[in-house]
């Protein structure tokens, strides 16, 4: 019994009460090499008690590396589950996005095979069976889904995220349900569409952020459910740094730009639906809008973070749609639960295949704002791989919104510290070490230095604008010198549309690796690349 009722209250399909088990009783269902589907999207709505029990079983019986699984999850989940699994060498493959120090280390050490994918494409490709086509069954072997409740017919009422649960249920053979009674039932917050496969894929007829076009539950065949487990564990959530001078300056540049666009008639007075990615800067941008001049705002995004509550408290947000309610463990979720009636009716949670689908993003005209690792002078962006090789988390949904939005924006600090230099890493470089988003998809680049609106600009003009507006002062002259040299040499050869010198384009990255800073002394190729 919890303050939010009992398991028996939540499980309205009474035939399933005969399948109630403890987490430990579920351990025999798991076999080495299985393909597993989990609910969850960012640290929200993910299964907890069963994965933790399985990790404890591995630790107590010295089974590290002997029970390994392939995990297919909507995005990252709580570190107490997947990161602990990584510590115990329990993960063979992991799709498509993750967080956690140990799982990232396992990926970069080659122990975990990770696949990165635009999230909307991952959802549909999982439903198509692309990721399990080479397995013996052709399906997911087992799914673990956290739910708030189960309807009379066996439909699943999810919790704080929707993730890829509809696609998992299409592909799985057996299901374990964790019924979380440690928080209120989220029945009524979800809008679930189960997409049919082509050529019968239906129209996603979302014309306004608040439109409801589906059901409150995910249809589920009760005969697939092999266990129902009680849980009282809440999401660990995602903690973010407070706004600092850099994030505050970025937010102010964006608000000034929106004000200009409204005056020019290119945006309505209440803007267009806002999409903001994960992370501290994205959180700060939404917080900045709560203090800004715009009212009757709407949010159509993939993740709702703590400052969405500030935006709602300000009275400036009419509706918000996302795949996940990814609040911090404290104060985010306690604040949400304490003001349930104020927030619940304004929020809609949708499956990843809907929240990130190109169709509603383009129809609604979303304003896309995301944070990269680095941006180059021509407006390519790297969101995933530091130095072109070290995976951080994954591309997430940024590409879904940057390719299809009305305004496509990337915001980042102009520099970051290295071990030896407080501005040793320039986030504006001659050429990105890895490219997730091409120049064709970006409209604006923002750092604390300023905002570069590069719409309608040719490559060389775009490069000068980005250096002028966005580069850190320590790097402006250096980047301009590179551009001048590249432009002169490439035009002389008749290849000067987008000048690059491949013997020097990555000299800043090489200098960082060898000397701890991106500040180069000379661009002359005859001089050692890192002198």
302 is catalytic: yes
**Dihedral, CA of residue 389, residue 391, residue 397 and residue 403, to nearest 10:** -10
DSSP state of 292: S
Instruction: Give the residue from 449, 448, 484 showing the smallest Cα distance to 464.
Output: 484
- The sign of the dihedral angle between the CA atoms of 468, 382, 390, 162 is positive
Contact predicate 411/371, CB 8 Å: yes
The pairs formed by 492-499 with CB atoms below 8 angstroms and a separation of 24 or more are 496/460, 497/459, 498/378, 498/459, 498/460, 499/460
Instruction: Give the residue from 194, 227, 502, 125 showing the smallest Cα distance to 354.
Output: 194
Annotated catalytic residue, options 82, 146, 178, 302: 302
Question: What is the CB-side half-sphere exposure of residue 270 using CA atoms within 13 A?
Answer: 11
Strands (E), 35-127: 35-38, 69-73, 91-95, 113-114
Per-residue HEC secondary structure of 153-190 comes to CCCEECCCECCCHHHHHHHECCEEEEEECCCCCCCCCE
Peptide bond into 199 cis (omega under 30): yes
What is the spatial distance between Cα 423 and Cα 425, in angstroms, rounded to a whole number? 6
The residues facing 429 across adjacent strands are 376
3-class secondary-structure state, position 192? strand
Residue 432 makes CB contacts below 8 A (sequence gap 6+) with 374, 375, 376, 380, 381, 382, 388
Task: Specify whether the backbone of 349 is left (phi greater than 0), alpha (psi in -120 to 50) or beta.
Answer: beta
Contact predicate 377/484, CB 8 Å: no
Catalytically active residues, by annotation: 302
């Amino acid at each position: 019994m919890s303050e939010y009722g009992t398991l028996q209250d939540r499980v309205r399909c009474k035939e399933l009460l005969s399948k109630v088990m403890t987490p430990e009783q579920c351990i025999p269902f798991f076999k080495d090499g299985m393909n597993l589907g989990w609910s969850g999207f960012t640290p929200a709505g993910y299964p907890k008690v069963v994965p933790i029990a399985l990790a404890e079983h591995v630790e107590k019986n010295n089974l590290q590396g002997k029970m390994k699984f392939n995990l297919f999850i909507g995005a990252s989940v709580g570190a107490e589950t997947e990161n602990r699994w990584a510590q115990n060498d329990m993960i063979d493959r992991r799709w498509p996005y993750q967080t956690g120090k140990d799982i990232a280390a396992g990926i970069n050490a080659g122990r975990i095979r990770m696949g990165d994918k635009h999230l909307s494409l991952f959802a549909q490709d999982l439903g198509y069976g692309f990721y399990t086509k080479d397995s013996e069954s052709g399906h997911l072997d087992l799914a673990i889904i956290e739910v708030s409740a189960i309807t009379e017919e066996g439909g699943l009422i999810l919790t704080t995220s929707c993730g890829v649960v509809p696609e998992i249920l299409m592909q799985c053979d057996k299901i374990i349900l964790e019924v979380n009674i440690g928080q209120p039932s989220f029945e009524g917050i979800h809008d679930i569409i189960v997409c049919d496969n082509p050529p019968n894929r239906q129209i996603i007829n979302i014309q306004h952020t608040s439109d409801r076009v589906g059901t409150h539950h995910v249809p589920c065949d009760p005969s697939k459910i092999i266990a129902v487990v009680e849980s009282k564990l809440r999401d660990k959530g995602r903690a973010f740094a407070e706004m600092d001078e850099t994030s505050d300056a970025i937010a102010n540049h964006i608000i000034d730009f929106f004000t200009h666009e409204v005056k020019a008639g290119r945006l309505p007075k209440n803007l267009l639906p806002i999409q903001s990615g994960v992370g501290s800067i994205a959180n700060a941008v939404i917080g900045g809008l709560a203090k800004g001049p715009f009212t009757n705002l709407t949010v159509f995004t993939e993740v709702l973070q703590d400052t969405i509550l500030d935006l709602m408290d300000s009275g400036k947000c009419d509706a918000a749609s996302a795949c996940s309610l990814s609040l911090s463990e404290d104060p985010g979720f306690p604040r949400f639960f304490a003001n349930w009636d104020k927030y619940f009716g304004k929020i809609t949670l949708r499956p990843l295949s809907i929240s990130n689908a190109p169709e509603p993003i383009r129809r609604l005209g979303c304003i896309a704002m995301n944070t990269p690792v680095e941006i180059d002078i021509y407006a390519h962006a790297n969101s995933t791989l530091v130095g072109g090789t070290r995976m951080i988390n994954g591309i997430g949904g940024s590409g879904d919104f940057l390719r299809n939005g009305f305004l496509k924006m990337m915001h980042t600090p102009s520099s970051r510290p290295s071990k030896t230099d407080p501005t040793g890493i320039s986030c504006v470089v001659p050429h990105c070490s890895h490219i997730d988003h091409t120049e064709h998809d970006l409209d604006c680049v923002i750092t604390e230095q300023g905002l570069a609106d590069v719409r309608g600009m040719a490559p060389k003009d775009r490069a000068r604008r980005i250096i002028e507006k966005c580069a850190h002062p320590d790097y402006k002259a250096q980047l301009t010198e590179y551009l001048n040299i590249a432009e002169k040499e490439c035009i002389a050869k008749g290849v000067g549309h987008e000048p690059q010198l491949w013997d020097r384009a990555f000299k800043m990255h090489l200098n960082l690796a060898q000397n701890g800073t991106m500040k180069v002394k000379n661009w002359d190729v005859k001089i050692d690349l890192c002198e």
